[in-house]
Every structure is written in C-alpha cells, then in structure tokens.
Amino acid sequence: MLITDLEKELNKLTHIARDLGYKINKPVLFVDPIFGSKLAYYQHNTNKIVIHDHFVETAEYSEVMNTLIHEMAHAVAEQNNTNVDKKGKTIRVWHGDAWKDINAKLGGNSERFHVGTYHKPEHVKKTMAELFAIQPKYPADRWERGTYKQWLSRGYHVIKGQKGHLHVWEFSADEYETDTDGKTSNWGKASAFYFNNDQVEANQPKEK
C-alpha cells in the first residue's frame, strides 16, 4: 500500500469520525520501522499513529486498513474520553468498550491483535554500508531527533563532529500496544544518545 493512499484513508476516517459526532484532531501518520513484534501503535501524548513500514509496503490492503482503523479508534477513543477517577485523573480507554464501539463504527474487525496472512519478518541487522546507502524518503524535520542508527534508517547520517545528547527515555504506559491494557511494554525504559534534525545530513546517493 502506498503511503499516500494510507494518508487518504486516514483523512477519510477523520471525516467519518466527525460525521459520527466525535471531536478529532487528525493524528499524524508515520510509516517507520517498528522493532519488536508490534505492527503499529498510537501515541496519545503526541497524537501519532506509527505503522511498521514493511507491513504497509507488503501486506494485503485490507489488513493494513484494518490496522489503521484499529489505531484510529484508539485516537478517537482517547481524544473523546471523559472518564476520570476520584482524583480527577483521566482513565484511559485502551481496548475498552468505547474503543470497541468506535472501532466497529469505523468498520474495523473486533480483533485486538492482528489477524491476516502478514507475518513480520525477523529483524535483520543491516551492515553499516547498507545503512549508509539508505536514501531519505522524507525531509529530516519530519523527526525532531533520533539515534545515530535511527537517522541512518531514515536516510540521514550524523554530521561529523556533532555531539549527541543523552536521553533517558521512558515510555509511559499508553505509548505502545501491549499484551495487557494498562501495563507498560517491556521496552519501557531506555537510554540513548540522540541527535537533532539539524545535526544530520542526507546520505549520498549510490554511485552508478
């Protein structure tokens, strides 16, 4: 499936959700490699839907659509969520009734996990030469920052002499699709050196 088609479908879903009476701030779509077994996730605090690039490129249209609807239903459910606990803290919907309801209305199947013929391949480590040969698909300012290798996978490399900044990264529990609602994924904490988008430049096109 082409990313431009996926963007169009996201626009349609946004209109459908509005026609259904929901308030929705259209999520930003990212098609990027996702490490681990997940195919997609919705990040509530940044309003991002991220879908694994290989899945988008190779899976059946209907399977990708179903995943998009699944994640869009998370966006609509969380953005329209008015449930609070006794202290006034928002109680997330996760895959609760509101999500199920919206997912069904948007035309999704009721499966919480992916069903279909697509199988995510084992992550194969690329050599540095292969990484440096990746060409950018998007301008660098699509991302605020990234690790040295993340930038390479996006088609950029860190400019010589640039220093990264250490960041201790903690996923809050809502950032990933996890096996148990409300539980933080096991990749919950990480620390890494990050480089901003003004510290990188595009990889060189392959010489012919």
Distance of alpha carbon 94 from the chain centroid:
16
Site map 171..200 versus Zn ion, x via CB under 5 A:
------x-----------------------
What is the edge-to-edge ordering of all strands in the sheet holding 48-52? 28-32, 48-52, 40-43
96 or 164: CB nearest Zn ion: 96
Shortest distance in whole angstroms from residue 199 CB to Zn ion: 34
Under rule CB under 5 A, how many of the chain's residues touch Zn ion?
1
Shortest distance in whole angstroms from residue 72 CB to Zn ion: 11
Shortest distance in whole angstroms from residue 27 CB to Zn ion: 13
Shortest distance in whole angstroms from residue 30 CB to Zn ion: 16
Tell me the sheet residues that pair with 192. 167
Whole-number Å distance between alpha carbons of 51 and 67: 8
Q: Which segments of the chain does DSSP mark as H helices, in order?
A: 3-19, 53-58, 61-79, 97-105, 128-132, 148-153
1 or 69: CB nearest Zn ion: 69
Residues of this chain that interact with Zn ion (CB under 5 A) are 177
